[in-house]
Amino acid sequence: MRNSAIVLVGLIVGIAAIYQWPKPISRIKCSPLVREGQIFYCAATLTYPPNAPSYRWTTDGECTLEQNTGESSTRETGQMVQLSVPPRVQQHICVVHVAVYDRSGQHLLGTSTEAVSIQRSDAIEPPITVPEQPKITAASPSTTPAKTRSAPRLDIKESAWPDWTQHVLADEAPVQGRVTGADLSAYKVAVYTLTGMGWSLQGQAAVDPVTGKWEVLVHFGSAYAALLVRNSLELEPSLRSLPAIGGAIVDLKKNR
């Protein structure tokens, strides 16, 4: 009778151990902030350390385990796993699962699941402002709209540049052109010649306020450049490189 009682108690304790013994895994902890197009991490938190456990991770939703192409969605790895999120997601949720097995990998010791919220990469967006509608006022019959004043521009024909083959016949040659636009009397044209030392100023000429024509006599060189500038600009006698258009320099033309 006593032996039967001992066996019964042992059986009850065994059954209780199977069903009541605490699972070795408590929960999964993941990175606190997960955004689209980023990598994040999750780790299994254990209530007690089993002897050399193995971990099998799986995912559902819009994140994937970092693994080689062709592997299954289930991956055996360590206590921590690295996951990635696509650049754009629809549901903004990822569910991470882990199963903890014993050393042999045959007996399941516990499981846990964690839902991870995915934030949009552009979650903080600037407020949308609506531009104010312009007020339309009727024009007075006695006033006429002013004509649009076009900016001055250089007009130089290809044949107007000096021909290098003529340098054996003369030391200098004229460069001619026209300026189109408004207020022609406020501008002048300067011509530079390219030499071995850089760009050398050959001369400058005022623009005819009626016809827009101008002419400068230059020495022969390997290249030529004409600058349309305001009369107030002080020109440099030599330049290492040609200036950019802007400010007092209104236009620039080169023969090549």
Q: According to the model, what pLDDT value does residue 1 have? A: 56
> 20-43 pLDDT, tens per residue?
444 556 678 888 888 888 888 888
Q: Tell if the pTM clears 0.75, that is, is over it.
A: no
Question: Using one digit for the tens of pLDDT, what is the confidence trace for 202-240?
Answer: 999 999 999 999 999 999 888 999 999 999 999 999 999
- Confidence at residue 186, expressed as pLDDT on a 0 to 100 scale: 92
Please classify residue 7 by burial: count the beta carbons closer than 10 Å to its beta carbon, then call 0-12 exposed, 13-18 middle and 19+ buried: exposed
Residue 241: the pLDDT is: 92
Residue ranges in the chain modelled with pLDDT below 70: 1-26, 47-50, 67-77, 123-149, 168
Give the pLDDT score at 16: 45
pLDDT given at position 18: 46
Domains defined along the chain, listed by start: 24-117 (2.60.40.10), 153-254 (2.60.40)
Q: Enter the tokens of residue 111.
A: 């499981």
